Amino acid sequence: MRKYSVFAVAREALRDHTGWDRAWPNAAPKKRYDVIIIGAGGHGLATAYYLGKNFGITNVAIIEKGWLGGGNTGRNTTIIRSNYLQDPSAAIYEKSRSLYETMSQDLNYNVMFSPRGVMMLAQTEHEKRGYLRTAHANKLQGVATRFIGPEEVKKLVPIINLHGPRYPVLGALWQERGGTARHDAVAWGYARACAAMGMDVIQKCEVTGITKENGRVTGVNTTRGDIACDKLGVVVAGHTGVLADMAGFRLPVESLALQALVSEPIKPCMDVVVMANTVHGYMSQSDKGEMVIGGGTDGFNNYTQRGSFHHIEETVRALVETFPMISRLKMLRQWGGIVDMTGDRSPILSKTPVEGIFMNCGWGTGGFKAIPGSGWAMAELMAKGHSPLTEEFSMFRFREGKFIDESVAAGVAH
């Protein structure tokens, strides 16, 4: 893999950029791999990368039915934070946040990580008490957050209206080292690094079946032929239930659409991420000047990846009181992604009833922030059979009643 550097850019500028190689080859599937990862989104690619980097497992195929990063990885609002209430959640999200800080250097690819800070507004007394509790929990967990008052909120976000008639701002849970990154760059950086280790990234290859023998996985059937493997990682977000059915078991997940939109580009006016969970809305400003706006999931199960009028109305109406200036903006575009939700709003990183099959799913609307930590933990689970980051996230916890309830700390399930 050719190393990117300022000297390489300067050299290619002098020869019309004709010397660049493909970031990753368009690989054809081989007959057999040690490990197959289904899903070439951020989580799947990160799993493959850390299998190679941390454990030397490089005979790996990452299979994607569409195009690389074309699912939820390319359909999110790029928020990164780790201020969760429960210890297992805080551990894996903080691991992820710390990996984001060095990701550009690790991958030799600029993922545009921006630690601009994430603010979760307290707009009711109940919410204020909840965030104070989370701040105390985060202190014990070693996660750097603090609760700030309305005056500091206004100083950080001058465009905010503190005195809304329904929901005034009473303070906020503030994580200074949270922020955003470029979603496409995260996928591309991992894919490039995986290819450099000799892994195959196989696009336009849909899995149509999973083969087993004596209770153990033996491979997959795809639209590009049968492929054998020793271990199989399923990392397909909203389509997890479909793949689990192919393997012969059920998962406690449901699929819903999560919608978001961006405004026309405007001059810089907001350099932090703000989440207003009482009214179900959150907003940040992209590097291009667009106001990135999102809210909660649709209230019904579906597999749509399009936007809808009711979501625009509900989310923008929720935010206009707190940010009056957005009422004058024009919408540029809107989209939807398919997220998989568990009953306790926490993910599943787990072995399964079929030996050799591992599931990574249930991230709900918080999947992007978890990509590197999820990949690190999943790779350890697949390579060693256990990981301290995944112990509490087994799929069997629902049968045992060992829930990891993040319905409050996740706010809008984000």
The verdict on 196 and 322 lying in the same domain is no
At a CB cut-off of 8 Å and minimum separation 6, what does 255 contact? 238, 239, 241, 301, 302, 303, 338, 339, 340, 341
Nearest in space to 222 (alpha carbons), one of 232, 213, 209: 209
How far apart are alpha carbons 304 and 11 in whole angstroms?
Answer: 45
pLDDT for 122 equals 95
Residue 76 and residue 216 share a domain: yes
- Domain shared by 203 and 318, yes or no: no
Split at pLDDT 50, 70, 90, the class of 306 is confident
Do 193 and 326 lie in one domain? The reply is: no
**Rounded Cα–Cα distance for residues 108 and 93 (Å):** 23
Question: Is the confidence at residue 307, as pLDDT, over 80?
Answer: no
Residues 145 and 266 in one domain: yes
Number of domains present in the structure of the chain: 2
Beta-carbon contacts of residue 57 (< 8 Å; ≥ 6 apart): 34, 35, 51, 383
Which of 268, 264, 79, 272 is CA-nearest to residue 183?
Answer: 79
Residue 324 belongs to domain spanning: 118-179+255-342
The CATH number of residue 79's host domain is: 3.50.50.60
Q: How many CA atoms lie within 13 A of 217 on its CB side?
A: 34
Q: With 90 as the cut, is the pLDDT of residue 285 above it? A: yes
Residue 226's CB is within 10 A of a number of other CB atoms, namely 15
Q: What is the CA radius of gyration of the chain?
A: 21
Bridge partners (DSSP) listed for residue 341 = 254
Does 302 map to a domain?
A: yes
Which residues are registered as beta bridge partners of 234?
38, 359
The residue among 253, 219, 259 whose CA lies nearest residue 237 is: 253
Within the chain, what is the greatest distance between any pair of CA atoms?
64
**CA 73/CA 387 separation, integer angstroms:** 24
* pTM, two decimal places: 0.94
Q: Are residues 211 and 173 part of one domain?
A: no
Provide the β-strand partners of residue 301.
Answer: 256
Query: For residue 350, what are its two tokens?
Result: 């787990």
Q: Which of 342, 363, 391 is the last residue of a domain?
A: 342
Strands (E), 25-81: 32-38, 60-63, 79-80
pLDDT digits 0-9 by tens, 60-106: 999 999 999 998 999 899 999 999 999 999 999 999 999 999 999 99
pLDDT, average across residues 269-286: 92
Q: pLDDT (tens digit, 9 = 90+) per residue, 173-191?
A: 999 999 999 999 999 999 9
Question: Which pLDDT score is estimated for 296?
Answer: 81
Domain edge (last residue) among 323, 342, 361: 342
Q: What is the pLDDT of residue 412?
A: 47
Same domain for 101 and 195, yes or no, is: yes
Instruction: Report how far residue 88's alpha carbon sits from residue 397's, in angstroms, rounded to the nearest whole number.
Output: 13
Specify the DSSP class assigned to residue 355. Answer: B
The tens digit of pLDDT for each residue in 379-395 reads: 999 999 999 999 999 99
pLDDT in tens, 321-377: 899 999 999 999 999 889 999 988 899 999 999 999 999 999 988 899 999 999 999
Q: Which of 208, 236, 227 is nearest to 361 (CA)?
A: 236
CATH code of residue 156: 3.30.9.10
Give the C-alpha separation, 82 to 100, whole Å: 12
Place 213 in a pLDDT band, splitting at 50, 70 and 90.
very high
